[in-house]
Structure 1
Amino acid sequence: MKSRRKLVISIILVSLSLFCAFSLIKPTGAYYSYYFTVDKMETNVYVQLDGSILINYEIDFTNGAYAHEIDVVDIGFPNKHYDLDSINASIDGIPISDSDILESTVIDIGVEIWLDGNEISAGDSGHLSVNGSNPKMVYGDYDNKSMASVEFSPTWFDESFCSEYDYLEVNLWFPETVNISAEGITKWHHPEHGDPTVGWENDLMYFQWTKTAVPMQQYMFGISFPKDALNSDAVIRWQANPRIIRIVVNVLVWISGISLAVGIVYFIIRYFTVTKKRYYPPKKRTASTTGGLCVCVIYIGIFAAAVLFSTWDSWGDVYAVIGFFIMVIGGFGMLGYFIYRLIRRLGHPYVKPELMIESAGVKKGLSVVEASIIRNTPLNKVIFLIIYGLLKTGHIEIKEVEPLQFNVISEGKESDLKWYHKRFLECVKKSGPEKGLLHESKLRKLLIDLIKRTHRRMKGFNLDATKAYYNNIVNQAWNKVRKLPEKTDIEWDKIKDEYEWLISDDLFEEHSERYFAHRYIYRPPYWYRRYYYYPYYWNRGYYYHYYPTYAPSTGTGPRTMPSQHINIHSLSDSIVRGLENISSKIVNNFQDFANNIVNKVRPVVKSSGGGRSYSGGSGCACACACACAGCACACAGGGR
């Protein structure tokens, strides 16, 4: 019933959109009933000494047998500087009143001439004569600075009224100071029209072009002659070269078009080969809004198309300019995206240059922390992994958050710890008012030694192969998580070995939401009690109806553990919160702290990377130098 109701509503909306679209289009009957032929159009353009031109049109019309009478004619002019008062016209030798010659309401630059009382009836013919002046028409020649040039396009009519010129004649007359001896230094433009005929009349030279049975469209003609033939101030000093503009526009359009086409194809292929094949946990079914969105899109599209169609005659140029800029911005944005991806792919970490024997291949046996150094993991995450390892083994617990303080709870029982875990415990102040805080200098020394030791362990091994090996370990850990049952209680022991590798992944937060949102653990891990009661620092929230709860601490009594059924994503989300806050809590200025470490371990080579970079306020300092990252880095590579 609901689906049928939605279908009816959709049909009604589409019908309304069609009605609105067609109601916007209001062509008058006269607009479509004009139809005539131009039997002959003779155009004479006289170049004046002051840089203006005098224009003369002699046009023979024959109106269609069943067409609307020709009661008004629109004549275009070259630029907006035309002199309306200078324009006069006649129809079949009968002068037309100046009050009937007005600025055109149809074309952008031109006049409309009303034939009041002298209309050309259906099937009849008539001769229209138009004269007028247009200043500011002479420009410098682009090919020869000593010459001036004039370009002119005779008026034309809409193809829906007239399809072709039966006969078109264009005469461009040179200034009176250009005499017979100047014929050798004059030239014409636009060779696609063929060589002109050179003529003389009343001591004036002209170039003549004639065309028969040619389509009704714009045709451009031009001539050049010495600048000395005009007054000194007649030539306009500067004008954008239309040829260069045309080339630039074409190049921009081609680059943008190709970039957009390649980008669209790339994202379509990526969608079907990557995005569509990704694993997404099942979600609760909700009412689909796709149908409503499709109807809205169709409605808006039809409405926009109707508006464009109905206003194209008056706003077409504006739409074209807007479309051009949208295309260029989109195309170059797409091109920039591909360049960015290429730079990221080609930007490899710096490796200290060394003379070595043939690589021994992959360096196996690295811990999660050491592998993170190799994999260019940010320093704040490296520190977090060290802290996480100590929390997991029960050697420390978080005592306070502001500032971050630790409580060493198993001092002297450190035989099972890595050397960097032991060194981190030494960084915790043991007494005094700052007990539990970290020695910043000791922590800095620890990280420097960690990077250098990892570098020494990599000697003779292939760095790229080693990175790929540990990236594969992380991917295998995620694959194992994917295969776990959903909405079923899982024992923590099934994922505890992989969890630390998962934390080291750069996409831990994104993958955690995707793979853990519908999975739960029956009992929290044994180390969970050491920080679960610090919601400000660790916790972000929980999902569905499973909520960890705890009783507030009273006196020195034991804390109550959270209830069972913990959402794994909730736990993972608390890890992310801890990672985001660690750089701002562990030292006063983490960026300066990281840069100091980088300066100690940076290879002595000229670097295009380095400097400062921030990411969400947590700082961006990588454990291995990466020229493409734009952030402070240090190298622990090796091999070839």
Structure 2
Amino acid sequence: MKKRLVVLLLVLLLTFTLTGSASAQSNYSFNLTTETVHVYWNGDGTIALDYVFTFANDPGAHVIDYVDVGMPNGDYEWGSISADVNGSPLSISSDFQGDGPYGFAVDMGGYAIQPGQTGSLHVYVGRISSMYYPDSDQPDTYASGEFSPTWFGSAYVHGNTNLTVIFHLPPGVQPEESIYHPARGVWPCDANPQTDHDGEGRIMFTWACASASGSSQYTFGMSVPKQYLPADAIVTAPAFNLDLSGLMDNLSSVCCFGFFFLMFVGAPILSAVNERKRKFQYMPPKISIEGHGIKRGLTAVESAVLMEQPLDKVMTMTLFGVVKKEAATVVTRDPLKLQVAQPLPEGLHEYEKDFLLAFSDPNKLPKAGLQEMTVKLIKSVSEKMKGFSRKETTDYYKSIMERAWQQIEAAGTPEVKSQMYDQALEWTMLDKDYDNRTRRVFTGPVFLPMWWGRYDPGYRPAAGSVKAGAPVSLPSGGRSSVSVPGSAFAASVVTSVQGFSSRVIGDVKTFTSGVTSRTNPLPKSSSAGKGSSGGGRSCACACAGCACACAGGGR
């Protein structure tokens, strides 16, 4: 009897252990490490979606056997849906368990992701209709659409998600015609997309963020001229109507008031700030697609372009460079006129030759030539950066700049300080606080570099040594025996940048916009919500005039 009781207790204990173990494994728990979705806004009025998900399943969690994918509406063709793991096809199930009404489930089958394992899933949806709506700002001429990539329940997913959303606009749309809607939904990265062209020549808007949340809804949008779409492809009626009364009517009024306040007051202000900042981003967007490693061998001027330093500073750095190399002498500073050496000395960079070419014709203003030179320089830097990391390279050249300043500041005598500054002048100008730092460092006497007479027509090494008004020709190396107060020298160097702006290129914003329009075309932006679409786990509705759509998330 005693032996039988012991056996019974062991059986019960084993039963509870197995039950508890099964219960512990019944919960889904994973990290959505990456989610990438290409959204093809097609010219026939439909869209196609191409998803790639990568899941890291937690140890001890439920096997990832199904993946729910939310759809923006119910107008998708079931036969256009496919899913695979490394090319091996998977089954599509209608057993969608997201919170929204539209979506499907992918049966992972033999490729289910086991606890503690990582796996990727590719999903393609070839045709979804009813995605374009009249644009809120320009309803007669523009159509718009918005999309939210599918997301997952916060009870299941944790950690950061590297989320990338790429819009491919309809064929034929030109950069100046395209409009992006800044990302919404507490998007933790840049709300404005990078712009480029895909292999078919279609405009691409790319939003990317390594610190996104796999359980949050983010909304991205665009607007294009109606001429690129069939008229019957644009939805002119709301996707559905809500019959609310009483308290819900009041809540709706409050929500709409808040919506329109943000749309017409707050959003335009934020949009204007973002647009102004964007106009100074002259580097092509593809330079932001990270490669690996540091691109060494860039000059200080090329490094300044990589950092998107103000172009008047870049021009001044180039001017100092050609003067130091005895390729030019400043004849007058206001207006700026150069005497270009003939023949040119060896060792000049292409951008320095183009810079001098802009000043070669005394009957033409140099501004147009300088814009051409800048466009070529930006494209050259972009080409050199292919395959390298912009962030790592930028950090590397910032460290060179900082070391140069530290060595100058640590110099024991004015002579040594002046000599080191002469050698590192262009590198120190990479400092965003260049103006103030120059004034702080040079407080005592400064020995002028030997080339200073070719830069400053008013400089004379000794009274009566040259004819009045004649350019000064001095050796290029070393320093002169002439010292000036440090404050005067610092002011002269600092105001060189300001002078180049006012005397040569005019308004920096206008000059830069002329460059940006060719190197990084500025799409028009819209801050207001347009037609709705999306993916995810819940429903959210805007006010009158905006279409609403719900979508589902996943297990």
TM range (shorter): 0.3 to 0.5
Q: Which has the higher helix share?
A: 1
Q: Which has the higher strand share?
A: 2
TM-score, normalization by structure 1: 0.34
Larger Rg: 1
Compare relative contact order (CA 8 Å, sep 6+) and give the higher one, 1 or 2.
2
TM-score, normalization by structure 2: 0.39
